[in-house]
Amino acid sequence: MAKIEIQDLTYIYSEGTPAAKKALSNINLCIKKNEFIGIIGRTGSGKSTFAKHLNALLKPTEGKVILDGKDIWDEPKEIRNVRFKVGMVFQYPEHQLFEETVYKDIAFGPSNMGLPKDEIEKKVYMACEFINLDFDLLYKSPFELSGGEKRKVAIAGVIAMDPEVLILDEPTAGFDPKSKEQLLYQLHCYYKNRGKTVILISHNMDDIAKYSDRIIVLDNGNLVMLDSPKRVFSQIDLLKSIGLEPPQITSIMQALKEEFPDLSDEILSVDEAVEALSNFVKNR
């Protein structure tokens, strides 16, 4: 059974006013339990609008969002539970920090879920480890943190709720390179080892290509493709026509292929490229 099923989803902002704008058009797709999904599309293509439907922050103008076999809008009383099951890290999550200590901020979600105190504490520490946040910072005010630290705290607050589906909108902006790699690796383990569903929205095609099982490509509110990284990034012309570029290593290989047609351009990582180029040299 699909974890999430989207049926004929259309969303119109400010419906019925002169400013009405269709942000999503008739989207149909399924996301499996235990899947890592990437979402790509240029600014304004509908990525965030789509994501907000998955945890009931927006109600479809038309169509359905089905979670574990049930339309999430069938029982309005259950919406709260949908938000516990489907955790969302927003684009500028640090704007939502408001407690007096980092600890309380991270504990906010699990407290709301009514967990016992020792359980909450466990979740807070687990979330800090997940995000590579120094325990020393737990008793500081969130307003006395560096930019990257604030963002880590905001993400830890969602991780601490241990959601079944975790959606993250450009989560690594402002992370140093190692923290970024670590977060992506932890997300990989979250879905691989713990049977969760992870949905990552990002402009960074290298990360999307490396970690996703399948990629949702949106353009102007339409679903253009839903396929494996290899297949998606081999459609260069289509991607370019909707304002997207392949990962940098893929475009390097494509540039080389123009002069050396024997080379493969279906390459998504540096290691694959090293292997392909070394073999190419051997065979010359």
Partner 1 sequence: MKNFIDIVDLKFSYNNEGNNAKNILNGINLNIKKGEFLAILGANGSGKSTLIKHLNAMLLPTKGNVFVNGINTKDEGKLYDIRSTVGLVLQNPDNQIVASIVEDEVAFGPENLGVAPKSIRERVDMALKLVDMYEYRKSTTYSLSGGQKQRIAIAGIIAMQPECILLDEPTSMLDPEGRKEVLDTIKSLNKNYGITIVLITHYMEEAANADRIAIINEGKIVRIDAPRIIFSEVAFLDKYQLSIPTVVELIHKLKLNGLPLNNMALDERECVNILKKYFNSLE
Q: What is the C-alpha separation between 38 and 201, in angstroms, rounded?
A: 6
Report the residue from 39, 51, 106, 145 that binds ligand ATP according to the rule CB under 6 A. Answer: 145
Classified as helix, coil or strand, 87 is strand
The reply on whether position 170 binds ligand ATP by CB under 6 A is: no
Give whole-number Cα distances, 60 to 51, 167, 270, in Å: 12, 18, 41
Q: What is the C-alpha separation between 251 and 270, in angstroms, rounded?
A: 12
Q: At what angle do helices 177-192 and 117-131 cross, to 10 degrees?
A: 130
Among partner 1, ligand ATP, Mg ion, none, residue 277 binds (CB under 5-8 Å by kind):
partner 1
Per-residue x/- track, 54-83, partner 1 (CB under 8 A): ------------------------------
Cβ distance 104 to 136 under 8 Å? no
Q: What is the C-alpha separation between 6 and 151, in angstroms, rounded?
A: 30
The reply on whether position 144 binds ligand ATP by CB under 6 A is: yes
Nearer to partner 1, 30 or 173 (CB): 173
Cβ distance 57 to 73 under 8 Å? no
Cβ distance 276 to 253 under 8 Å? yes
**Contacts with Mg ion in 127-146 (CB under 5 A)?**
146
The reply on whether position 147 binds Mg ion by CB under 5 A is: yes
The reply on whether position 241 binds partner 1 by CB under 8 A is: no
Report the residue from 3, 53, 83, 152 that binds partner 1 according to the rule CB under 8 A. Answer: 152
**Nearest distance in Å: CB 203, ligand ATP:** 19
Nearer to partner 1, 4 or 183 (CB): 183
Angle at 214 between CA 208 and CA 216, to 5 degrees: 80
The contact set with Mg ion (CB under 5 A) reads 146-147
Name the residues that contact ligand ATP, by CB under 6 A.
144-149, 176
Contacts with partner 1 by CB under 8 A lie at: 42-43, 92, 134, 144-149, 152, 173-181, 203, 206, 243, 245, 248-249, 251-252, 255-256, 259-260, 270-271, 273-274, 277-278, 280-281, 284
